A and B are shown apart, each in its own frame.
Chain A
Amino acid sequence: MIDVLYFAWVRERIGLPRERIDTNAATVNDLIAELSAREERYAVAFSDLSSLRVALDQELSDFDAPLAGVREIAFFPPMTGG
C-alpha cells in the first residue's frame, strides 16, 4: 500500500487530493502507467511528464526511481514558492 498525493492542477485533474493504492509497481514510471491505464483522468494528468514533479517520502525524486520501501508519493507541477 502506498499513499499517493496530488497537488495544484494535478489534484484538480485527478479530482482528489490523496488516495491509498494497492500496487506492485516497481518504479514511479510503472505506477504512472498503472494509473493511466486505469482511468482517463489519470492518463490526462500524466500525459506530459515534463510538466510534472514527483516526491518520494517528501523528497524530490525522479520518474525512474524505485518504489521499494516508499510510503508516500506525491505528484505536482513545478513549484512556485516565494
Chain B
Amino acid sequence: MRICVQSDPFDMGAEANRFTQSATGAGAIVTFTGITRDSAAGDLAVMEIEHYPGMTERALNEIATQAMTRWQLTDCLVIHRHGRLAPTDPIMMVATAARHRADAFAAAEFLMDYLKSRAPFWKKEIAKSGTAWVAARDEDEAALKRW
C-alpha cells in the first residue's frame, strides 16, 4: 500500500507499470486517473488544489486500509496532487491489485467515492470569466451510502 500526496506531477503510465511489476500474487489490476476538467465555459486557466497537510495523509491511509480489509486486495496505490494544475493535468490516481477483477474494480470505486468526500482537498477554478471554489455535489455524498 502506498499513499502519495504531492505537488509534483506524476507519470500515470510509469506509476501503473511500477505497480504492476510489484503485484505478486495478483491477476487483475484496475487503475483510475482523474484529470483537471475544464470549466463549463471552457476557459479554465488554473485549478488550484488546497489540502490539509497531516489530515490528508491520515484520511487517505485510513480509506486505503479500509479498502485493503474489505476486499481481497494484494496492493493499492493512491496518488493525489495539490497546488496549481492546468486543464488535462492528472490530479490523482488510484490503482488496486487483486487475484480477481471484481475485487479490484469494487475497491477502486470505493476509494474514489471516499476520496471525493472524505479526503481534505478543496478545488478552486481560476478561469478568465472568474474565480470560484468548486462546490461539493450531493451525488458524491450520496455515493458513500452504497458502501
List chain A positions with a Cβ less than 8 A from chain B: 5, 7-9, 55, 58-60, 74, 76-82
B50, CB-defined interface residue at 8 Å: yes
Q: A8-B122, A8-B133 are in contact. Are A80 and B52 (CB under 8 A)?
A: no
Alpha-carbon gap, A74 to B50, bound state (A): 14
Q: Is B133 a contact of A7 with CB atoms below 8 Å?
A: no
B102, CB-defined interface residue at 8 Å: no
B101, CB-defined interface residue at 8 Å: no
CB-defined contacts of B55 to chain A, threshold 8 Å: 55, 58-59, 74
Q: Is A82 a contact of B115 with CB atoms below 8 Å?
A: yes
List chain B positions with a Cβ less than 8 A from chain A: 34, 50, 52, 54-55, 58-59, 80, 91-92, 112, 115-124, 133-136, 141
Q: Is B120 a contact of A76 with CB atoms below 8 Å?
A: yes
Q: What would 28 A/B residue contacts be, using CB atoms closer than 8 Å?
A: A7-B52, A8-B50, A8-B133, A55-B55, A58-B54, A58-B58, A74-B55, A76-B52, A76-B120, A77-B133, A77-B136, A78-B117, A79-B119, A79-B122, A80-B116, A80-B121, A80-B122, A80-B123, A80-B135, A81-B80, A81-B92, A81-B116, A81-B117, A81-B119, A82-B112, A82-B115, A82-B116, A82-B121
Residue from A9, A59, A76, A82 in contact with B92 in the complex, judged by beta carbons closer than 8 Å: A82
Q: Is B115 a contact of A7 with CB atoms below 8 Å?
A: no
Q: By CB atoms of chain B within 10 A, which of A9, A74, A77, A78 has the most?
A: A78
